[in-house]
Structure 1
Amino acid sequence: MGPVRTASVLLAVLLVAACAEPSPGSAPPPHAQPPADPDALVLRVEQVGGYTTPQDLAARLPVVSVYADGQAILQGPVPAIYPAFAWPNIQVLDLGADGVQELVDHALAAGVAEQGDLGAPHVTDMPSTRFTLRTAEGTHVREVYALTQTTGTGLTEDQLAARERLLELLTEVQDLSSASTPEDVPESWTPAAVAAVVEPWTAREEDTAQGLSPEPLPWPGPPLPGEPIGPGISCVVATGEVAGAVVTAAQGANMLTPWATPDGALWSVAFRPLLPDETGCADLQA
C-alpha cells in the first residue's frame, strides 16, 4: 500500500471516530465550559449524613462553593477549642475565570461526571461526600460514602482508584484556604442572610461539671423558634440590618451560649450563613 493510500485510509478512520456517537458509560470530555451566568454555582463539595445531631446536620456548611464569577466561598481553619465559636470561619477567595475553568477540568478528570461503582466501605456512621458540578452542558452530582476510608474496607482496586481521584479533588478544594502567595489569601465573608437552626436550650451535665455555664445573651433576630425543619429543630432567617445584628452577636458567643427571648425562653442556636445561591431554610434540608 503506497503512502497516499495509507494516508487516505488513516483519514477515513479518524473521520469515522470523530463522528461516532459516544458509547453509554464512556468517559466524559476532559473539558467543559462553566455556565454563562456569572452568579451560577459551578462546583460544590459538601459532607452529607453521618452520625451527628439534626441541628448540626442542618447547619453544616459546604466545604466549598465556587461560582462562575470566580468567587469561592469556603470554610476556613478554626481553633481546636471547646466550646467552639458560634460563628463559623467562612471565607471568600477570587479564583478568576482561569481558576474556575481549572477546577471544572479537575472535577471532570476526578470522575465527578462518571457513574462507576465506588463501593461501600465496611464502616458505619460516616458522612458521604457530595460533589455537584454544573457546566454549560448540564449538571453532574456524585456522592461517595466514607471517602476518606481507603484501606482495609473490602473495596476493589478499581473502586479504590476511582475514590482516590475524588479524594484528591476534595483535598484540592480544602487546600484553597491555605494561601501560597499574598494575593491568594482568603478574606472573611459576610453573608446577606443568616439562617438560625434552633432547638430548646438545656444545660448538659458534662459541661456543668466542667464549670461551663455561659450566661444567656439577648436574641437579636427574628422571633424564635421559627418553622420546624426536622426532628426537634426549627429555622428562621435574618436579612438586612437584622442579619448584621445576628452576625455581630454570634461573633461574641460560643456553641453553648443560650439565647434568651423576651418571653423568658432559652434557645440553642446554630448559625448557618446562606450562600449566594440559597434563599432560605428549605436549602438546609437537602
Structure 2
Amino acid sequence: MTRTRGLLTAAAVPLILMAGCARPGEAGSAADPILESSAASPTVLVRIAHEGGFMIRDYNYGRMPVATIYSDGRVITTGPTTMMYPGAALPNLLVATITPERARQWADDALKAGVRTGADLGQPGVADIPDTVITATSGGATQTVRVTALNEAAPDDSNLTAAQQAARKKLAAYAKELTSFAETGSPAPVAYAPDAVAALVQTYVPDPQAKQADIAWPGPALPGAVLNPDTKLSCVTVTGAEKDTVLAAAAKANARTPWTSGGKQWGITFRPFLPDETGGCAALKDAR
C-alpha cells in the first residue's frame, strides 16, 4: 500500500481546500484560549519542515513539521500514512525519546551536513514542489537552510552546479537518516499525545463518493476565529479534558466526517500543537 510522509494525508486535503461560508469568530474568545509558554518548555534543536509548493494557502495552516528534535530528547515526526480515501481524521504523529546528548549530536550533525544560513543550494528546474526548510541550533547559534525540491531534482539537472548537487545530496541523506531513525529506532516511537489541538473549520461540503454519518462536535462552539477571511477558514483551540474528548471522537472519524455544531455541519482538519508551539490558533496565521 502506498505511503507518504511529511504532509497532511491526501484524504485530508479536500477538507482544508474547500472554500466554505463559516461565520467569523472573534479572536481571543473563550473558544480560542492562548497557550502559555512554560519555563520547562524544551528548546528545538533540529526541525525539518515543508513550506510553499503549489497549493492554496489554507492547506498550510494544517501542515505539520516533518521532524523536530527537542533538547529534552523527544523526537516528534509525521509518520507514514496510507493513501486510502477518506483518510484518518488525525495526523499520524510519532514521538521517540533519545538522550539529550544524542539530541545535541543530531544538531551538530545537521551543521556538518550543510545546514547553514545563506547556503547556496541552487534552483533546480522543477516547479510547484515545496521547499524543505531545516533549522538546527548548536553551540548557541541557530542556522537555517531552505532547499527547493530537495528530493525531486534530477541528479543531472543543468540548473545546478556540481557543488550544489553535492550539498543537496548531503542534506537529503541527513534528513532521510533522521526521519528513518525516528520511525524505526530503539526505543520504538509511540503515538504523540498533544497538550492542545487546533480544529480548522469550514462549512461542510458533502462528497457524493464518500457519504458519511454526522458526529456531534464535543468541543468549543464552531466555527471559531477566522484565519483566512477570503475562504472563511476558521479555527478553535482545544485544551484540557475537552481536548481529550475531542481527540477520542476524532479517532473514530475520518477526514470527510461531517461534524455538527449549532445546527450546522462543519468540515474539520485537526492540527495538533507541538511542545514549543504557543499562542493557539493565532499562532497559525503566519503558516507557510
TM normalised by structure 2 equals: 0.79
**Which is further off, 74-83 or 184-193?**
74-83
Match of 1:156 in 2: 161
Match of 1:165 in 2: 170
Aligned length: 243
Give the SS at the match of 2:128. Answer: coil
Q: Which has the higher helix share?
A: 1
Match of 1:213 in 2: 211
Residues 177, 66 of structure 1: CA spacing in aligned structure 2 closer, same or farther, 3 A cutoff? closer
Residues 173, 67 of structure 1: CA spacing in aligned structure 2 closer, same or farther, 3 A cutoff? same
The gaps in structure 2 that reach 5 residues or longer are: 1-39
Q: Is the 8 A contact 1:76 1:91 kept in 2?
A: yes
Instruction: Write the distance in 1 (CA, Å) between the matches of 2:203 and 2:151.
Output: 34
Q: Is the 8 A contact 1:221 1:238 kept in 2?
A: yes
What is the CA distance between 1:219 and its match in structure 2? 0.9
Letter in 2 for 1:226: G
What is the CA distance between 1:260 and its match in structure 2? 0.8
Determine whether 1:277 maps to 2:282. no
What is the CA distance between 1:136 and its match in structure 2? 4.0
What is the CA distance between 1:122 and its match in structure 2? 1.6
Letter in 2 for 1:224: L
Instruction: Write the distance in 2 (CA, Å) between the matches of 1:46 and 1:171.
Output: 13
Q: Is the 8 A contact 1:147 1:167 kept in 2?
A: yes
Determine whether 1:228 maps to 2:226. yes
Match of 2:247 in 1: 247
Match of 1:265 in 2: 264
Instruction: Write the distance in 2 (CA, Å) between the matches of 1:157 and 1:171.
Output: 21
Give the SS at the match of 1:229. Answer: strand
What is the CA distance between 1:51 and its match in structure 2? 2.0
Question: Alpha carbon RMSD of aligned pairs, Å?
Answer: 1.9
What is the CA distance between 1:60 and its match in structure 2? 1.0
Q: Is the 8 A contact 1:150 1:160 kept in 2?
A: no
Match of 2:48 in 1: 45
Give the SS at the match of 2:82. Answer: coil
From the CA coordinates, give the structure whose radius of gyration is larger.
Answer: 1
The gaps in structure 1 that reach 5 residues or longer are: 1-36
Larger RCO: Structure 1 or Structure 2 (Cα < 8 Å, ≥ 6 residues apart)? 2
Match of 1:120 in 2: 123
- Which runs of 4 or more aligned residues in structure 1 lie more than 6 Å from their structure 2 counterparts after TM superposition? none
Percent identity between matched residues is 36
Match of 1:82 in 2: 85
Match of 2:134 in 1: 131
TM normalised by structure 1 equals: 0.80
Give the SS at the match of 1:123. Answer: coil
Residues 42, 282 of structure 1: CA spacing in aligned structure 2 closer, same or farther, 3 A cutoff? farther
